[in-house]
Chain A
Amino acid sequence: MADTATHGHATATGISNAKLGMWVYLASDCLLFGGLISTYLLLRHRSVSGLTPAEIFDIPFTSVSSFVLLMSSLTMALAVASITRGDVRANRVWLATTALLGATFIGGQVYEFTTFYREGLGFTTNIFGSAFYTLTGFHGAHVIVGIVMLMSLLMMSVRGNLGPERRDAVEIVGLYWHFVDIVWILIFTIVYLIP
């Protein structure tokens, strides 16, 4: 029975409960990030002291980080495509590449936060700092969770527990990863490029 084989167990709708659950979670996460982005938009120009967005953002650097995260979506899509074909070896390569690109993005964020802090923008410096670190910090935490999930898949694959029959596991992690990417597409434009 195809459904049982691909989803672990049969469902009344013919679609995976785990995948449905991930989509419901992602829909709810829209509200979380919507709240954080709205709060940032409301507060970013209300600081009475300290640094402002225009004074501190390094757009060329953040552009490279954004490009890295965008390309990690490509490698994630290729990971899902390879496991669908049953190409376990290619799947491992793409999962590892995605995790590496995600780690590069996080490295860039750590560098950016450190630089901002040294230049005088701490979490409590002003209301812009609080809103900025909360928004981008929550996004960074999502990326870190994604990297942990990717590494877990990689470990499963190395141990021989991730074949085409568990394609859904890779696809569900992929959905989460792509969501993290589209949230960054919004943050990069709204927070960084529009002053």
Chain B
Amino acid sequence: MTSAAVDTAPDEHAHDHPSDLQYVKIAIFLGLLTALEVSTYFWEDLPGIDKPASTTTLVAVLFPMMIVKFVTVAGYFMHLKYDNPIFKRIFIFGLLLAIIVYAIALFAFEYWNEDYLKFLRS
């Protein structure tokens, strides 16, 4: 690597990171989402509701909020939105690999049993 090549290499800090105020706004947004998530725990205390929310309902409500929080922290606080795209690709590769490997593992151990095989044959 020549010094000329190094001098012309892109400077990873030459991008606009959020200001302090924007960081605070992002944190407030994350705090509000967390409060919304926690509120699901108290649903059954609401008048007119006599049983707790089903797991399917909770997954449908909580997973999108969890994903939004995850992406917000990774994108803004970890600067993936602004930094060199190679960091994003490396992280997404690890994340996708984990999701695929463990989704297969969960499916195999949780559902791949005699009942499921009977269902497939029927």
Contact A26 B70 (CB under 8 A): no
**B-contacting residues, A43-78, CB 8 Å:** 59-60, 63, 66-67, 70-71, 73-74, 76-78
Measured CB to CB, the closest approach of chain A to B31, in angstroms, equals 6
- Chain A residues near B26 (CB-CB < 8 A): 74
- Cβ of B10 within 8 Å of any chain A Cβ, yes or no, is yes
Known pairs A73-B73, A81-B23; A189 contacts B37 (CB<8 A): yes
Q: Considering the chains assembled together, what is the distance between the CA atoms of A12 and B8 in angstroms? A: 10
Q: Considering the chains assembled together, what is the distance between the CA atoms of A60 and B42 in angstroms? A: 10
- Cβ of A145 within 8 Å of any chain B Cβ, yes or no, is no
- Chain B residues near A2 (CB-CB < 8 A): 11
**Which among A14, A179, A195 is the interface contact of B9 at CB below 8 angstroms?**
A14
Contact B31 A19 (CB under 8 A): no
Please classify the interface of chain A as helix (H, G, I), strand (E, B), loop, or mixed, using the class held by over half of its residues: helix
Contact B11 A77 (CB under 8 A): no
Q: Considering the chains assembled together, what is the distance between the CA atoms of A81 and B82 in angstroms? A: 14
Known pairs A20-B86, A34-B98, A73-B27; A193 contacts B9 (CB<8 A): no
How many chain B residues have a CB neighbour from A under 8 Å? 58
Over the window 8-38 of chain A, the binary record of Cβ atoms lying under 8 Å from chain B Cβ atoms (1 yes, 0 no) is 0011111110011001101111110111011
Contact A74 B34 (CB under 8 A): no
- Cβ of B116 within 8 Å of any chain A Cβ, yes or no, is no
Q: Considering the chains assembled together, what is the distance between the CA atoms of A178 and B19 in angstroms? A: 17
Q: Considering the chains assembled together, what is the distance between the CA atoms of A186 and B102 in angstroms? A: 14
Contact A42 B37 (CB under 8 A): no
Which of B's residues lie within 8 Å of A, judged by CB? 1, 3, 5-7, 9-13, 17-20, 23-24, 26-27, 30-31, 34, 37-38, 40-41, 52, 55, 58-59, 62-63, 65-66, 69-70, 73-74, 76-79, 84, 86-87, 90-91, 93-95, 97-99, 101-102, 105-106, 109-110
Give 27 CB contacts A-B under 8 Å.
Answer: A2-B11, A3-B11, A6-B13, A10-B3, A11-B6, A11-B9, A15-B87, A19-B87, A26-B91, A29-B94, A31-B94, A35-B98, A38-B105, A38-B106, A42-B106, A42-B109, A42-B110, A63-B41, A70-B27, A77-B76, A81-B19, A81-B20, A174-B77, A178-B77, A185-B66, A193-B41, A195-B52
